[in-house]
């Protein structure tokens, strides 16, 4: 739709419109109506406000939900229908209490979508979303063999929303339960509204944060790590040598050596932990297009997925689980990375400490890294492609040198000017 619009506009301009104002006018009209149509199509956001018994605002929502429901239309035959949460909904059955609230949106012929909230001292959360659909509504569920009303309960991860803030999430949140898929997006949601007016501050969902901070190229940063610097008391992690062979008798097909530290959030605190190579099991597999390395210790499980895009390889995905001795387990995954890039048949090397931001709550630090996920021969690393920032060791002397040169130049100029002044001074005497 969008691409076609652009093409249309381009064609308008490419056609020599100078003499053909009418054509241009017509083009403009087409574009205008396409744009308008698009606009009308997209603006199906559902906005609702619920007031409490004192007639003050207590629940607010502005969101979009797409539904995909598969239902039976005959023996062994099913159909899938797609529809969106309409703009016009009822809020009958919504309830605001002190620590629990329900936002119930009714629509169509007996369908409803209900969000259950609970609150503790500082935060509130969504406990469940109950979607109820009436298969007897033949306009939506044509030829349905059943006329029942069904319900599915989804548990979206909408937690830790600060009291007196609204939850904001532009990213898609997909909930699959039985034969129903719900896609929530462009969500603004506030329960337990205080003082009868919607808050100005928001709690942004992790998906929105990571989609901006975990861009593949920004993953290699030395400063902007959200988990702050690791505790200095922790020693540099031991460098481990890990390799995978296709079978017992063969030499390695994947090799990696590095020291690994993980920083993860526990509440507001950041904790760090080192991977101990001697207490780590190695697993994984080599493939043509992708290879996997899995390291498992009693507290850490980490899976590296490398991709071979014919000429080059890169680290494509990371899935890390940390189960600390005390506190809650942290799981972090990023499946859209493109770091550690090197030619297939060579290895990637980075001696300095590298910081990889996996998610908002978990960061990896690698030390003395060298990996070759494809085409290892004779159990040895091939030539290395070094990470560019290792060059800082060269860059720093250069910068210092340039700074020194500038300083000397300033001193010389000052000296010359000074001499001239004194010279002039002597002359007038
Ligand atoms: C939701 O459905 C509408 C209409 O079918 C479609 O235009 C839109 O792309 C869908 N959005 C998502 C996130 O699936
Ligand atoms: C449904 O399909 C399966 C195989 O696709 C078949 O074995 C089964 O007998 C079918 N059931 C009915 C009730 O037709
Ligand atoms: C639902 O369908 C059953 C048969 O499948 C029928 O006996 C019943 O009357 C129907 N109920 C409604 C409310 O249409
Ligand atoms: C592995 O080596 C053993 C003995 O060295 C030999 O008997 C076996 O056939 C080999 N297996 C493969 C898959 O090459
Ligand atoms: C690897 O990728 C290429 C191109 O994308 C594809 O043709 C090939 O079938 C893939 N090989 C395997 C083993 O998946
Ligand atoms: C990498 O992928 C290409 C095709 O995409 C394949 O020809 C090549 O053999 C692969 N390299 C390795 C080492 O598996
Ligand atoms: C990461 O690993 C955990 C535990 O093995 C698993 O439940 C989860 O689905 C994985 N996530 C991704 C994106 O692969
Ligand atoms: C993955 O990253 C690429 C490049 O930044 C981006 O174009 C793409 O949309 C991303 N895909 C997902 C699923 O985030």
User: How many Å lie between the centroid of ligand 5 and the Cα of residue 291?
Assistant: 13
Q: Which residue owns the Cα nearest ligand 2 atom 9?
A: 76
Q: What is the number of the ligand closest to the CA of 335?
A: 7
Nearest-atom index, ligand 3, CA of 136: 14
pLDDT-derived band at 76 (thresholds 50, 70, 90) equals confident
SS in 3 state form for the chain? CHHHHHHHHHHHHHCCHHHCHHHHHHHHHHHHHHHHHHHHHHCCCEEEEEECCCCCEEEEEEEEEEEEEEEEEECCEEEEEEEECCCCCECCCCEECCCEEEEEEEECCCEEEEEEEEECCCEEEEEEEEEEEECCCCCCCCCCCCCCEEEEEECCCCCCEECCCEEEECCCEEEEECCEEEEEEEEEEEECCCCCCCCCCEEECHHHHHHHHCCHHHHECCCCCCCCCCCCCCCCCCCEEEEECCCCCCCCCEEEEEEEEEEEEECCEEEEEECCHHHCEEEEECCCCEEEEEEECCCEEEEEEEEEECCEEEEEEEEEEECCCCCCCEEEEECCCCEEEEEECEEEEECCCEEEEEECCEEEEEEEEEEECCCCECCECCCEEECHHHHHHHHHHHHHHHHHHHHHHHHHHHHHHHHHHHHHHHHHC
Q: Which residue owns the Cα nearest ligand 8 atom 10?
A: 336
Residue 205 vs residues 172, 173, 237, 330: alpha-carbon distances, Å:
10, 10, 32, 17
pLDDT of residue 408: 83
Residues 201 and 54 reside in one and the same domain: yes
Mean per-residue pLDDT over the chain, rounded: 82
Residues 30 and 55 reside in one and the same domain: no
pLDDT of residue 28: 52
| Whole-angstrom distance, CA of residue 357 vs CA of residue 305 | 16
Pocket of ligand 6 (CB under 6 A): 288-289, 308, 310, 344, 374-375
Q: For residue 269, what are the contacts with CB-CB under 8 A and spacing of at least 6?
A: none
User: How many Å lie between the centroid of ligand 3 and the Cα of residue 147?
Assistant: 6
pLDDT in tens, 220-246: 333 334 444 444 568 899 999 999 988
Residues 24 and 121 reside in one and the same domain: no
Number of domains in the chain: 3
- Classify residue 71: in a domain, yes or no: yes
Residues 190 and 166 reside in one and the same domain: yes
- The answer to whether the beta carbons of residues 274 and 223 sit under 8 Å apart is no
How remote is the C-alpha of 333 from its chain's centroid?
Answer: 9
- Classify residue 423: in a domain, yes or no: no
| Whole-angstrom distance, CA of residue 372 vs CA of residue 364 | 19
Q: For residue 402, what are the contacts with CB-CB under 8 A and spacing of at least 6?
A: none
- The answer to whether the beta carbons of residues 187 and 157 sit under 8 Å apart is no
- The answer to whether the beta carbons of residues 60 and 189 sit under 8 Å apart is yes
pLDDT-derived band at 274 (thresholds 50, 70, 90) equals very high
- Classify residue 29: in a domain, yes or no: yes
Residue 138, ligand 3, Cβ within 6 A: no
Q: Give the CA radius of gyration of the chain.
A: 31
Q: Which residue owns the Cα nearest ligand 5 atom 10?
A: 289
Residue ending a domain, choose from 155, 182, 206: 206
| Whole-angstrom distance, CA of residue 360 vs CA of residue 200 | 23
Whether 332 has a pLDDT exceeding 90, the answer reads yes
Residues 152 and 246 reside in one and the same domain: no
Residues 279 and 162 reside in one and the same domain: no
Report the residue among 288, 306, 343 best suited for mutation to probe ligand 6: largest number of ligand atoms under 8 A from its CB.
288
Residues 29 and 55 reside in one and the same domain: no
pLDDT of residue 54: 87
pLDDT of residue 326: 81
Counting residues of the chain whose pLDDT is more than 70, the rounded percentage is 79
pLDDT of residue 299: 92
pLDDT of residue 18: 43
Residues 249 and 146 reside in one and the same domain: no
Across the strands, what pairs with 149? 134
User: How many Å lie between the centroid of ligand 1 and the Cα of residue 45?
Assistant: 11
Which residue in 205, 216, 132 sits closest to 360, CA to CA? 205
pLDDT in tens, 160-217: 888 989 999 988 888 888 889 999 999 999 999 988 889 888 888 877 775 443 333 3
- The answer to whether the beta carbons of residues 110 and 139 sit under 8 Å apart is no
pLDDT of residue 33: 46
- Classify residue 143: in a domain, yes or no: yes
- Classify residue 418: in a domain, yes or no: no
Report the residue among 302, 333, 334, 335 best suited for mutation to probe ligand 7: largest number of ligand atoms under 8 A from its CB.
333
Counting residues of the chain whose pLDDT is more than 90, the rounded percentage is 49
pLDDT-derived band at 1 (thresholds 50, 70, 90) equals very low
Which residue in 302, 297, 299, 301 sits closest to 323, CA to CA? 299
Residues 176 and 316 reside in one and the same domain: no
pLDDT in tens, 90-131: 999 999 998 999 999 999 999 999 999 999 988 999 999 999
Whether 427 has a pLDDT exceeding 80, the answer reads no
CATH number assigned to the domain comprising residue 139 = 2.40.160.110
Residue 200, ligand 4, Cβ within 6 A: no
Residue 147, ligand 3, Cβ within 6 A: yes
The owner of tokens 């005390």 is: 326
Pocket of ligand 7 (CB under 6 A): 319, 321, 331, 333, 335
Residues 202 and 288 reside in one and the same domain: no
User: How many Å lie between the centroid of ligand 1 and the Cα of residue 258?
Assistant: 44
- Classify residue 211: in a domain, yes or no: no
Residues 266 and 311 reside in one and the same domain: yes
User: How many Å lie between the centroid of ligand 2 and the Cα of residue 269?
Assistant: 56
pLDDT of residue 261: 96
- Classify residue 157: in a domain, yes or no: yes
Q: Which residue owns the Cα nearest ligand 4 atom 12?
A: 249
pLDDT in tens, 144-169: 999 999 999 998 888 888 898 999 99
Q: Which residue owns the Cα nearest ligand 3 atom 13?
A: 147
Token pair, residue 70, equals: 């598969």
Residues 50 and 32 reside in one and the same domain: no
- Classify residue 428: in a domain, yes or no: no
Residue 146 vs residues 91, 109, 132, 178, 192: alpha-carbon distances, Å:
27, 15, 14, 16, 38
Q: Which residue owns the Cα nearest ligand 3 atom 5?
A: 146
Whether 312 has a pLDDT exceeding 80, the answer reads yes
Picking from 144-158, 299-313, 380-394, which range would have the lowest pLDDT averaged per residue?
Answer: 380-394
Q: Residue 183 belongs to what domain range?
A: 46-206
| Whole-angstrom distance, CA of residue 96 vs CA of residue 245 | 60
pLDDT of residue 210: 59
pLDDT in tens, 14-66: 544 444 454 454 545 445 444 444 444 455 789 999 998 888 899 999 999 99
Q: Which residue owns the Cα nearest ligand 2 atom 1?
A: 76
- The answer to whether the beta carbons of residues 295 and 281 sit under 8 Å apart is yes
């Amino acid at each position: 739709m969008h691409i076609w619009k652009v093409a249309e506009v381009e064609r308008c301009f490419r056609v020599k419109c100078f003499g053909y104002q009418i054509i241009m006018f017509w083009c403009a009209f087409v574009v205008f109506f396409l744009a308008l149509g698009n606009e009308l199509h997209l603006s199906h956001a559902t906005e609702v406000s619920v007031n409490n018994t004192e007639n003050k605002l207590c629940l607010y929502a502005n969101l979009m939900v797409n539904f995909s429901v598969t239902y039976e239309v005959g023996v062994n035959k099913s159909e899938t229908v797609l529809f969106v949460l309409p703009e016009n909904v009822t809020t009958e059955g919504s309830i605001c209490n002190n620590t629990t609230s329900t936002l119930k949106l009714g629509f169509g012929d007996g369908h409803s979508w209900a969000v259950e909230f609970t609150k503790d001292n500082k935060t509130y959360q969504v406990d469940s979303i109950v979607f109820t659909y009436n298969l007897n509504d033949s306009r939506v569920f044509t030829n349905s063999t059943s006329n029942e009303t069904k319900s599915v309960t989804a548990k979206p991860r909408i937690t830790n929303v600060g009291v007196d803030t609204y939850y904001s999430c532009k990213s898609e949140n997909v909930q699959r339960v039985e034969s129903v898929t719900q896609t929530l997006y462009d969500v603004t949601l506030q329960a337990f509204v205080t003082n009868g007016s919607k808050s100005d501050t928001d709690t942004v969902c992790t998906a929105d944060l990571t989609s901006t901070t975990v861009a593949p190229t920004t993953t290699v940063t030395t400063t902007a790590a959200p988990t702050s610097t690791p505790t200095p008391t922790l020693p540099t992690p031991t460098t481990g040598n890990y390799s995978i062979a296709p079978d017992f008798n063969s030499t390695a097909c994947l090799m990696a050596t590095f020291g690994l530290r993980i920083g993860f959030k526990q509440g507001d605190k950041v904790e760090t932990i080192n991977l101990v190579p001697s207490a780590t099991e190695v697993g994984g597999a080599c493939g043509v297009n992708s290879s996997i390395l899995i390291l498992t210790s009693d507290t850490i499980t980490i899976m590296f997925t490398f991709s071979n895009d014919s000429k080059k390889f890169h680290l494509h995905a990371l899935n890390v689980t940390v189960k600390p001795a005390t506190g809650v387990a942290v799981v972090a995954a990023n499946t859209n990375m493109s770091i550690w890039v090197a030619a297939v048949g060579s290895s990637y090397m980075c001696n300095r400490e590298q910081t990889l931001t996996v998610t908002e709550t978990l960061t990896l630090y690698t030390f003395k890294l060298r990996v070759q996920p494809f085409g290892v021969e004779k159990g040895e690393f091939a030539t290395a492609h070094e990470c560019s920032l290792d060059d800082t060791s060269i860059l720093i002397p250069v910068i210092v040198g340039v700074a020194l040169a500038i300083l000397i130049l300033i001193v010389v100029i000052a000296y010359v000017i000074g001499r001239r002044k004194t010279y002039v001074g002597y002359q007038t005497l």
